[in-house]
Chains A and B, each alone.
Chain A
Amino acid sequence: DGGITQSPKYLFRKEGQNVTLSCEQNLNHDAMYWYRQDPGQGLRLIYYSQIVNDFQKGDIAEGYSVSREKKESFPLTVTSAQKNPTAFYLCASSIRGTADEKLFFGSGTQLSVL
């Protein structure tokens, strides 16, 4: 059963702590994305990657980091430099990363600050 798996579903971060959100896909898609959703706002792009070992910043990359060492995996680290990390984080993938493709989303991770 192909899809995108995000874990954990809920995550709590202490002040000054880095946390990593996992995203794995078995769809054999080249492109992967991380979005952030805040109440009353649309999804905002944090980072995206179209091929292994390459990724690009989105609109709100400050305070975040990513890696793409394997095609299947695109973890997102929320660093202590991200001052307002509380949000719902969505990982997505698409076949090639072109503008006319639909995205496949995971079920999301809710990050909260303790």
Chain B
Amino acid sequence: DQQVKQNSPSLSVQEGRISILNCDYTNSMFDYFLWYKKYPAEGPTFLISISSIKDKNEDGRFTVFLNKSAKHLSLHIVPSQPGDSAVYFCAASAPRDMRFGAGTRLTVKP
């Protein structure tokens, strides 16, 4: 059962524009959400997180939005840079349970 879904396997944007990556979840017990970034031949690295008591968290060019009623979160990257090209995984966690989406491959074109 896929409790965390990233419905877009890939996304391509122009350098300098906004990238929006989406993630949906089904389990209302999830109360902490994370985004990880993965380059080829490397392990994922943590990017940004948000607690369920917030609806927005910002860190530099990266902002995560959480809509609990819709069970939806999104990652905004502004402005997008070619170095942002990677696979992005969203993750949702509850005590003793963390689930990952299948990832979205972002390509930022110069």
Contact = CB atoms under 8 A, between A and B. Distances in A.
Q: Do A and B bind each other?
A: yes
Interface of A: 4, 6, 35, 40-45, 90, 92, 98-100, 102-108
A100 B51 contact: yes
Question: Interface SS of chain A: helix, strand, loop or mixed?
Answer: loop
B46 A103 contact: yes
13 contacts: A4-B43, A6-B43, A35-B100, A42-B101, A43-B89, A45-B98, A98-B95, A99-B96, A99-B97, A100-B51, A103-B44, A104-B46, A105-B36
Contacts of B95: 98-99
Given A100-B32, A100-B51, A42 B100 contact: yes
Contacts of A40: 9, 102
B42 A107 contact: yes
A40 B102 CA distance: 6
Interface of B: 2, 4, 6, 9, 31-32, 34, 36, 41-46, 49, 51, 89, 93-103
Given A4-B43, A41-B102, A107-B42, A102 B49 contact: yes
A90 B49 contact: no
Given A99-B31, A99-B98, A42 B45 contact: no
A90 B2 CA distance: 19
A103 B6 CA distance: 19
Contacts of B94: 99
Contacts of A105: 36, 43-45
Given A102-B34, A105-B43, A108-B43, A42 B93 contact: no
A45 B101 CA distance: 12
A3 B9 CA distance: 29
